[in-house]
Structure 1
Amino acid sequence: MTEKFQKVSGTFLGVPSAADAAHADVAIFGAVHGTAYAGAQFAPPSETGPDAVRRAITTASVHIDHWDFDFDGPLLNDGALKVVDLGNVPTTPHANDKNRDAIESATRDIRAHGAMPILIGGDDSTAIPFMKGLSDVPALHILQIDGHIDWRDHIAGERFGYSSTMRRASELSNVRSITQVGIRAVGSARREEVETATSWGARIFTVRKSRALGMTTVADALPRDGHLLIHIDLDALDPSICPGVNALSPGGLRLDEVTDLIAATMQDRTLAGLSVVELDPAADINAMTATVAGRLVCHVLGHLARSVPSETRHRK
């Protein structure tokens, strides 16, 4: 029998390692591989994306109990939020069906224990089964922070690759809205994909539009009923601070803009999950991207730790 999670040598911020999410408010897990396109080449990594994030943010944070000036106190609010790290789901290159099943099963298992899942990828395709694993949430609103809209129906017949993440999300019966922030320049989208997205009802905020309106106004576009999923593709941020991604594009969001958006969006909303994807450790510089990815997870944890208990637990 294959283990649901593979333990890692160092956990995120040194939080407890666990075999399951029992007795936790939040459970972090990694997924290195999702759905590969035919012919994709994979060089054996010296370090996986999830493990790079764990190492970088733990090093940068020194100690989880130290004062976090972004939250005027220790990050987890003196233990108010119980966080565990489950390790990584077992995935391998090109084992597309098995990878998706493993990620979806892990997400459902975390939810079944009453905890909120946080996925660290892996490319953007890992988010497709993660979102499917949230199907027990009756009404899900997605905030996608990304440089690209990802609405391709398929590429060379593959429907579950990283260019189709939001297209597949739009087909889930419990997804009520999709708000896309940080969009810029050129990606895989053609006129067809843009028209499909806007016809479905997706709200698209380019970087320029987001800055003109302000992040609080952008956050106000998201409904307050139901549950919120925050999905972050690291290429949403400018490559000057996130160089370790697959698709570099200048003119991205600043870190403070993304953290302001997270703060405004989480206010008076119930979070169902968080996914942070698209770190390529081989392309990173001084672990900048990995550290930023970890810090984005920290901002979500910090806000959860300061919310009322009924909002930090996510029972079915």
Structure 2
Amino acid sequence: MSEFIGAPATTWNRVEHEDMKVKDWIVPSFGKLTEGFDIVITGIPLSRSSISASAASEYPDFFRKSWQFFSTYSIDDNVDFRHLHVADLGDVKMHGTNILQCHTNIERAMMDIQIYCPNSFYVQIGGDHSITAPIVRAITQHTGKRVGIVQFDTHLDLRATESDGPTNGTPIRQLLDTGVVRGEDVYNIGLHGFYNAPSLIKAADEYGVNRITLKQFRKNGAEQQIAEVMNSLKEKVDIVYVTVDMDVLDITYAPGVPASTPGGMRSDELFDLLYEVGKYDFVYGMDFVCLDPHRDSREQQTVKTGVYAFLTVMTSRFVHLYSEKNTVTM
């Protein structure tokens, strides 16, 4: 048990049958941390630290509600990944007003999860992007390993903490300033347009952050781009954490993202990139952040895109890393 994790608002019960939905597949294990799960999911309902007005704190709940719309069968890979053991651990408990206390709770919850679920792949559903800093702090503290970051984002998230505090604009800067990660171990993919100030480019240069623009990625393609990044990281770090800021998507594909912009990534491009990420066994965990369901379309277009992105990673890991479980094909 972890005192920092509680049951979420939306719950489903696992039900084994021929045509399983995602809601039937994931095991509810709220606050009960245990070994034996390939993947564990934790909701982090925090958005008070968002620079833009946001109800991203609601996304973990809407994420779960959307499980009913997806099956455990991938037609692209012709596999049913139901044999992956996946648990929903519930939501990290948030303080009503104190952002630093919320970050402390996230860090302590992540420590507990790693202790009691030591062999799992860790997925966090935010919440705004500020949650990434306490998660990565907990990972480095627990493992003692050198951690690299692959960041899908429109923004560098390198605002100065002195002026901006522990917000969704500063998670990478927080980790760099405190020496938790090194700039050379951060790869930001998807930067585009007119959304990063010169001072942030200067900071990226000073820290040595690797920047891959959307145009560069499109020239390389998903497989080559991720292979280049992962091969480079493998020479330097022990494990990799992936953070997906949904504002990397073009506003047309992500109406539910407060900071979404024109000129961004298509949803299929993000799915292709995440499929490639899922192939690598030294990827330790990941998060999905900055999605406000209340800004979304009536059909919950962006919410469903986020679930699809998550399931894309699950499919890739099942196909490429869990070959002994890869027995269900059609």
TM-score of the superposed pair, with normalisation by structure 1:
0.85
Identity, % of aligned pairs? 22
8 Å CA contact retained: 1:35, 1:160: no
Matched AA of 2:69: A
CA distance in 2, matches of 1:213, 1:41: 35
What residue number does 1:184 align with? 192
Question: Of residues 241, 258, 278 in structure 2, which corresponds to 1:246?
Answer: 258
Structure 1: stretches of 5+ with no match in the other structure: none
Q: 1:81-120, aligned counterparts within 5 Å?
A: 81-112=84-115, 113-114=117-118, 115-120=120-125
- Residue-by-residue CA offset, 1:114-145 (whole Å, 9 max, x unaligned): 12221101111112111112113412121100
Report the equivalent of 2:172: 166
Q: CA RMSD in A?
A: 2.7
Q: Does 1:296 align with 2:306?
A: no
Q: What are the superposed Cα offsets for residues 171-194 of structure 1, whole Å, 9 maximum, x if unpaired?
A: 44355611111112233x432221
- 1:34–1:100 Cα contact (<8 Å) kept: no
Q: Secondary structure at the match of 1:33?
A: coil
Q: 2:134 aligns with which of 129, 133, 147?
A: 129
Look up the SS of the partner of 1:27 in the other structure. Answer: strand
**Matches of 1:296 and 1:48, distance apart in 2:** 18
Q: SS in structure 2 opposite 1:221?
A: helix
Please tell me whether residue 141 in structure 1 is matched to residue 152 in structure 2. Answer: no
Corresponding residue for residue 153 of structure 1: 160
Which structure has more relative contact order (CA 8 Å, sep 6+)? It is: 1
For the residue of structure 1 that corresponds to 2:5, the secondary structure is coil
Q: Deviations over 1:27-48 (max 9, x none)?
A: 101111166279x8778x9x81
Q: Which runs of 5+ in 2 are unaligned?
A: 13-21, 326-330
Q: CA shift at 1:85, angstroms? A: 0.1
Q: Which of the numbers 186, 207, 221 marks the counterpart of 1:200?
A: 207
User: Is 1:229 the equivalent of 2:241?
Assistant: yes
Aligned length: 300
- Deviation track 1:31-75 (CA, whole Å, cap 9, x = no partner) reads 11166279x8778x9x8111111112x1221x43xx21133111x
Pairwise CA distance, 1:151: 0.5
Does the 8 Å contact 1:37/1:158 carry over to 2?
no
- CA–CA separation in structure 1 for the residues paired with 2:36 and 2:271: 28
| SS in structure 2 of the partner of residue 133 of structure 1 | helix
The structural deviation recorded for 1:213 is: 2.3
